[in-house]
Amino acid sequence: MHEDRTSSRRFRLADAALLLLAAAIYGGIFAVNRLAAEALWPPMGFAFLQSLLAGLALALLVMLSGRFALSAAHLRAYVVMGALVVGLPIGILVKAAEHLDASVLTLVLCLSPILTLLIGVLAGIERFDQRTLLGMLLGIAGVAVILAPGAGVIGAGGVFWFLVALSAPLMFAAANNCAKWLRPADATSAAMAAGTLLGAAAVAGVVMLALGSAVLPPEGIASGLLPLAIATAINTVFFWLFFTLVERIGPARFSLFNYLAVAAGILWSLVFLGEQPGALFWLALLLMMAGMYLALSSKAGPEAAQ
């Protein structure tokens, strides 16, 4: 009995450590998107190449250690997940990064846990209570602070792009749930990560062709190699952690990583981009994080992961 308790405790600590690592890694993607925008990367071209390179790297590892499944169920999971986590939102966020500070864009992560829980409620796998409702209202209040005229959080012309960027946490929330719903029983975390990234590349490639978008920056890949290399590394590690953690602790608990990812994203922006958010930025952050705490500490949250 004592040994079982020790083993369970060790696994919980391991999950917490992996969650912290995932947040620290993913928090950097917003600063990288800003670097990509400054390097004049076409948004969909950047999403396409980072997904393709990371997906190929993981696929190679999977094939060296086993079989890379390509059944209809696997392909459906790869394409849907790829569209929701990279193929569409990263292109949107890179475009929005041309008009918004990376620290402001990081705040959209605050809405992902609440939306993850809401989708679970609508799907009938979560229970809705007053704490969840209050948490969502606080999240909305945080968005309102950012969008308030004269708040100084978003510069002139940035409101539209912040509203566009809000589509990203909705896609992320859908992906959190789909990672559990669509995952075939025999799919390993590494295979799901590889397939999702290759699916993301396929979706981004189709959108890129449909829009007639360029693949590379105007001055060629050399001018934007640094953000591409960092984004590829982030995706390679993060998506393996993503599928590992969703399998082990469930989508609702996994979405807690956004607490830490927001803080990490702001820290990366402050250290590497020298951004100095205004006072109301911190008020918006406080409201959104309070909303996350209330929504995910309700009785509904933990039960979803069982």
Tokens 């890179």, located at residue: 94
**Mean pLDDT for the stretch of residues 193-222:** 91
Nearest to 201 by CA among 303, 79, 35, 34: 79
Q: Whole-structure pTM over 0.75, yes or no?
A: no
Report residue 65's pLDDT band, with 50, 70 and 90 as the boundaries. Answer: confident
Q: How many domains does the chain have?
A: 1
The per-type count for the chain, helices as H runs and strands as E runs, is 16, 0
pLDDT value, residue 230: 94
Instruction: Kindly indicate the confidence band of residue 289, based on its pLDDT and cuts at 50, 70 and 90.
Output: confident
* Count of beta carbons in the 10 Å neighbourhood of residue 118: 19
Output the pLDDT for position 233: 95
Provide, rounded to the nearest whole percent, the portion of the chain with pLDDT above 90. Answer: 20
Which of the two residues, 163 and 276, has the higher pLDDT score?
163
Average pLDDT over residues 272-296: 70
pLDDT in the model for residue 150 = 57
Query: Residue 274 falls within a domain, yes or no?
Result: yes
Residue 16, in any domain of the structure: no
Q: Within its chain, how far is the Cα of 83 from the centroid? A: 12
Spatial contact of 106 and 27, defined as CB atoms under 8 Å apart: yes
pLDDT tens across 92-101, in order?
Answer: 887 887 888 7
Question: For residue 1, is it within any domain?
Answer: no
* pLDDT of amino acid 228: 95
Query: Which residue did the predictor score with more confidence, 85 or 114?
Result: 85
CA distance 113 to 188: 24
Cβ-contact 152, 280 below 8 angstroms? yes
Q: What is the pLDDT of residues 100-147, one digit of tens each?
A: 877 677 777 777 777 877 787 777 666 666 776 777 677 677 767 766
Rounded Cα distance between 303 and 126, Å, is 7
What average pLDDT score do residues 262-283 get? Answer: 71
CA distance 24 to 237: 11
Residue 184, domain member (yes or no):
yes
Residues 143-154 pLDDT 10s = 677 666 655 556
Amino acid at 148: A
pLDDT computed for residue 217 by the predictor: 93
User: Among 8-17, 198-207, 256-265, which is the least confidently predicted range?
Assistant: 8-17
Any domain includes 11: no
pLDDT tens digit sequence for 12-38: 677 778 887 888 888 888 788 888 988
| Cα-trace Rg, the chain | 19
d(CA 32, CA 178): 26
Looking at the domain assignment, is residue 19 inside a domain? no
Asked, for residue 182, whether it belongs to a domain, the answer is yes
For residue 6, tell me if it sits in a domain.
no
**What pLDDT is recorded for position 302?**
40
**Higher-scoring residue by pLDDT: 134, 11:** 134
Which pLDDT does position 112 carry in this prediction? 77
Inform me whether the pLDDT recorded for 54 exceeds 90: yes
Confidence class of residue 254 from pLDDT cuts 50, 70 and 90? confident
Label residue 156 by pLDDT band (50, 70, 90).
low
Distance of CA 151 to the CA centre of its chain: 26
Q: Is 110 exposed, middle or buried (0-12, 13-18, 19+ CB in 10 A)?
A: buried
Residue 183: domain span? 25-304
